[in-house]
């Protein structure tokens, strides 16, 4: 009887540990996405307050986005390696402290160079949150149900994007930054009670296991090929976020929308759709018992949605925002993409992948935006956006088809 009671008590404690880890990771991604999206939402009013002209707002805004993405790219690599060497919790603490401090300081910028430095620092900090949380939760959950944990985290992140849109619409840009910074510091207190992944603890006791070593990708061609395929699968998502939504006002002008379009509302409706998409793609993946097929179905929907969106003729603002929502819904494979990428790699490289890969996807917006600038004079913004988006979707579909299926795959293995 005593032994049975101890087993029941241990099971209850394990469930509490799991759900607390999911809660904290979900709240962390909420704040993470809030801050990532926030600059795009407050780009125009914040740069106007610094005295920039309308033309400068577009060019300087694009530069600041690229600076933030560069920080996220570097931070993703650094925090990913740290998570595989020192533990999943190490990056959760370090990343949130860094981006919360930078976000709070953004409320007090007075010059463009100061803005650029703080967006770069915030980008480095933002890079570690998602990868650490996703890896920790996936390693704590059973292999049959871990997709549901990622679904909760991803959906919470979308709520952060929605909150960012609402806050930036109803509050000043300075207040929006202050709110994001303070929210991060409050979350930091909750992190203290989160426990380390048992898979990492077991691996850390083994000898001759190379932890968080990115050179393994170059020494093992199959690992690098798999990583690049995952990168292609995620690329369309950030085309929609980094180009379509960020430059929604310019897109609205090109489509001759009957009323002015704002970035904040475009992101708001996009994230509403994305929240529904993350939920439905995750549930579809569980029902099909396949990550690959769920991703491919949503990529096909994205292809249809982009084609319809860019062929609108003088739509109303309501119809424009409806398609922003539809584009978000069809982009809902993001949650399944995160699961699929995490499950592809061993424990000694898992956080390196899960932290760096989403940020490499985000950083793809840098060459995409450069490409858009080059081809826009020849094909216009509609032709440029359409060509880039449809090409990325096609490559993502092929890459998803070629990746191994990972549904219910055991995660207790290492890469050599």
136-169 tens-digit pLDDT: 888 888 887 888 888 888 888 888 888 887 888 7
pTM: 0.85
**How much is the pLDDT for 6?**
46
Angle between helices 146-170 and 112-140 (to 10 degrees): 150
End-to-end CA distance of the chain: 45
**How much is the pLDDT for 218?**
84
Helix locations, 107-194, DSSP H: 112-140, 146-170, 173-190
**How much is the pLDDT for 5?**
42
From residue 139, alpha-carbon distances to 149, 159, 198 in Å are: 10, 24, 8
Q: Alpha-carbon distance 296 to 65, whole Å?
A: 29
Reported as a single tens digit per residue, the pLDDT across 89-130 is 878 788 888 988 999 999 999 999 999 999 999 999 888 888
Q: Is the C-alpha dihedral spanning 130, 396, 292, 327 positive or negative? A: positive
**How much is the pLDDT for 11?**
57
**How much is the pLDDT for 3?**
44
Is the domain 11-190+213-402 a CATH 3.40.1190.10 member?
no
Place of tokens 């690992």: 223
Smallest CA-to-CA distance from 246 within 16, 29, 98, 44 is with 44
Q: Which residues of the chain have pLDDT under 50?
A: 2-3, 5-7
Q: Alpha-carbon distance 233 to 227, whole Å?
A: 10
Burial 287-319 (b: 16+ CB within 10 A, else e): eeebbbbbbbbbbebbbebbeebbeeeebebee
Burial class from Cβ neighbours inside 10 Å (0-12, 13-18, 19+) for residue 70 reads middle
Smallest CA-to-CA distance from 127 within 369, 332, 370, 352 is with 352
Q: Where are the domains of the chain?
A: 11-190+213-402
**How much is the pLDDT for 373?**
81
Q: Alpha-carbon distance 63 to 84, whole Å?
A: 32
């Amino acid at each position: 009887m005593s032994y049975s009671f101890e087993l029941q008590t241990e099971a209850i404690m394990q469930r509490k540990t799991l759900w607390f880890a999911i809660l904290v990771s979900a709240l962390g991604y909420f704040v993470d996405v809030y801050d990532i999206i926030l600059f795009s939402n407050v780009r125009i009013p914040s740069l106007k307050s610094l005295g920039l002209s309308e033309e400068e707002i577009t060019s300087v805004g694009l530069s600041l986005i690229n600076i933030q993405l560069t920080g996220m790219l570097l931070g993703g690599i650094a925090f990913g390696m740290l998570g595989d060497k020192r533990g999943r919790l190490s990056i959760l603490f370090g990343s949130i402290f860094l981006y919360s401090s930078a976000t709070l300081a953004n409320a007090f910028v007075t010059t463009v160079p100061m803005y650029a430095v703080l967006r770069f620092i915030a980008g480095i900090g933002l890079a570690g949150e998602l990868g650490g949380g996703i890896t920790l939760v996936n390693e704590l959950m059973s292999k049959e149900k871990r997709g549901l944990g990622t679904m909760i985290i991803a959906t919470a992140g979308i709520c952060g994007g929605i909150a960012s849109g609402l806050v930036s619409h109803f509050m000043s840009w300075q207040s929006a930054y202050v709110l994001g910074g303070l929210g991060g510091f409050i979350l930091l207190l909750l992190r203290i009670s989160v426990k380390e992944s048992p898979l990492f603890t077991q691996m850390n006791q083994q000898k001759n296991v190379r932890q968080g070593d990115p050179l393994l990708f170059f020494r093992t061609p199959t690992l690098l090929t798999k990583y690049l395929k995952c990168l292609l699968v995620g690329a369309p998502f950030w085309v929609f976020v980094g180009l379509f939504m960020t430059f929604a006002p310019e897109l609205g002008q090109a489509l001759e929308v009957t009323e002015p379009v704002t970035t904040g509302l475009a992101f708001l409706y996009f994230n509403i759709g994305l929240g529904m998409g993350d939920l439905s793609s995750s549930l579809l993946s569980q029902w099909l018992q396949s990550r690959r097929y769920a991703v491919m179905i949503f990529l096909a929907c994205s292809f249809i949605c982009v084609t319809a969106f860019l062929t609108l003729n003088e739509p109303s603002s309501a119809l424009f925002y409806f398609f922003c929502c539809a584009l978000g819904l069809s982009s809902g494979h993001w949650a399944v993409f995160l699961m699929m990428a995490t499950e592809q790699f061993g424990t000694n490289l898992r956080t390196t992948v899960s932290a760096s890969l989403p940020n490499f996807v985000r950083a793809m917006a840098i060459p995409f935006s450069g490409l858009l600038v080059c081809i826009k004079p020849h094909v216009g913004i509609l032709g440029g956006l359409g060509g880039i988006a449809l090409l990325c979707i096609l490559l993502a579909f092929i890459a998803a088809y070629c990746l191994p299926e990972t549904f219910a795959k055991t995660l207790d293995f290492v890469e050599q």
